[in-house]
Amino acid sequence: MGSIVPLNIDLANAFVQPQPFEFKLDSAFFEALDQDEIQGGDVVVSGEARPRHDGMVEAVYHVKGNVQVSCDRCLDPMDFPVEVEDSTLIATEGQDEGTAEPDYVVSPRQREFDLAWAVYQAIELSLPLVRIHPEGQCNPEMLAYIQSDVTAADEDADDADEEDFE
């Protein structure tokens, strides 16, 4: 869950006044995370960490760019556009949480908070479950291999069905 590119927000000041932020994420960010869904990308995260009336900090952010994922059909990399709005609630230990459930609870002495994993999750959850190239853009060699494997499996199934009737 670690990142070599921390997306730190100034938590100490965000409890007092809004703190704007902007991060540019590239492939190094996604490679450094402990995940294997997104291989790379070029994404901009912009937003603001601001105090709430209940004493928590809300980091509201907009993510826009492209990420690289594997095509579910041919397994080749493909660029996929992403644009998502999300927020993360941060509370301090021992604080009355009021009506909202915080996403993270941190020590009152913690001065910064790394949004890296929250931003990654927002990006990942914005992607469709099935990710395939547009028609005609899949790797033709892989498609031929899949088709030959399907044809062989169909022939084996037909042979098994004929043996059952004998």
Could you read off the pLDDT of 99-142 as tens digits, one per residue? Answer: 788 999 999 899 999 999 999 999 999 999 999 998 889 988 88
- Establish if 1 belongs to a structural domain: no
Is the same domain home to 97 and 117? yes
Task: Indicate left, alpha or beta for 66 from its phi (over 0: left) and psi (-120 to 50: alpha).
Answer: beta
145: containing domain: 136-166
Q: Which two tokens stand for residue 99?
A: 């009506």
Residues in a beta bridge with 23: 45
Q: Specify the number of domains making up the chain.
A: 2
What is residue 106's three-state secondary structure? strand
Same domain for 68 and 143? no
Whether the pLDDT of residue 50 is over 60: the answer is yes
56 and 121 in a single domain? The answer is yes
What pTM, to 2 d.p., does this model score? 0.80
